Amino acid sequence: MASLDEVLTGLRAAAEPTRLRLLALCAHGDLTVTELTQILGQSQPRVSRHLKLLVEAGLLDRFREGTWAFYRLAESGAGSELARRTLGLLPADDATLRLDASRLNAIKRERAESADAYFRANAGQWRSIRSLHVDEAEVERALVEVVQDGPHRDLLDMGTGTGRILEVLGPLVERGLGLDASREMLAVARTSLEAAGLRHCHVRQADMYQLPLSDDSFDLVTIHQVLHFAERPGAVVAEAARVLRPGGRLIVVDFAPHTLEELRDEHSHRRLGFTDAEVQGWCRAAGLQPAEPRRLPGAPLTVVLWQALRPVAGHQDDFQSAGAKA
């Protein structure tokens, strides 16, 4: 419940034409100061001052991605509720807001064109790897089956890449967050999530060895085709375990051991797959309880889904028996 001071602070921050326009724009996803300046037709210092007030009032969230700063409607707290209620009062037929929306759509089209160019430049590499293992659609179906097995509110996808796992699992969760170190990949992911209408899912730039997240903050973490690039895969699993809530589930999707040295030489794979003992050992070392893995044989690469649960006191045996049935 918001205090009177919090409500007053939020109302003062929102009660200005430019700031109302900024709130309406940021409700549509992550936007940079440069993009907002372009839409509003105002100077960057002026727009930055307005954004600062909105962030301080708790109406917007701000996060950095390298040298860039992104803004988005606040996700939690008193300011989040106030921002959404305020936006509900804005007239849908307002000429200024319609013009802002038109300019925003133009920026989104530019993003989509940039994402398409990146895909075209890298499509050959991705196709050559996909041809070696089971169809991605089968992997995605297996993931959905696992996630449907229990209620999950908050999803974290580590090394999200193009955001595909958020697209697949987003409809099954209340909130989705994808983290990746590549700004180019994140640009692709944002475009994909916007096209899919998944406004409750978003992405951030982050180091998977040092997640900018608090302990016990997610009940589902996925690491999809990421560990074979990692210098320290056990440390990645440990970070995933740290942010899992008690009862939360980790799903690691990667390759079983193989001998395709060209993946190391041509595609920068650090590891040529993993054994069950390795992945389950990292999970146990991080305080997680592994379940029976699921194998999806391909030619020549086999994809494995490893699951592990962060135990809840008094229920340590439940997940193991459930995993054995999967």
Tens of pLDDT along 61-89? Answer: 998 766 778 898 988 788 888 999 999 99
Q: Report d(CA 31, CA 313) in Å as an integer.
A: 42
Phi-psi region of 62 (alpha: psi -120 to 50; beta: other; left: phi over 0): beta
The full set of domains in the chain, from first to last, is 4-104 (1.10.10.10), 132-325 (3.40.50.150)
303: tokens are 């994809």
Give yes or no for a cis peptide into 300 (omega within 30° of 0): yes
CA 94 → CA 21, 24, 89, 99, 317, distances in Å? Answer: 11, 12, 12, 9, 58
Q: What is the pLDDT of residues 267-314, one digit of tens each?
A: 778 888 999 999 999 999 999 999 999 999 988 899 999 999 999 876
227 near 233, Cβ under 8 Å? Answer: yes
How do beta strands 154-158 and 201-205 pair? Answer: unpaired
Per-residue model confidence as pLDDT tens for the chain (326 residues): 668 888 898 899 999 999 999 999 999 888 889 999 999 999 999 999 999 999 999 999 998 766 778 898 988 788 888 999 999 999 989 999 999 999 999 988 887 787 667 556 766 676 677 777 888 899 999 999 999 877 889 999 999 998 999 999 999 999 999 999 888 889 889 989 999 999 899 999 999 999 999 999 999 999 999 999 888 899 999 999 999 999 999 999 999 999 888 887 777 788 889 999 999 999 999 999 999 999 999 888 999 999 999 998 765 555 544 444 44
pTM passes above 0.85: no
255: tokens are 């390759």
State the Cα torsion 28-29-32-37 to the nearest 10°. 0
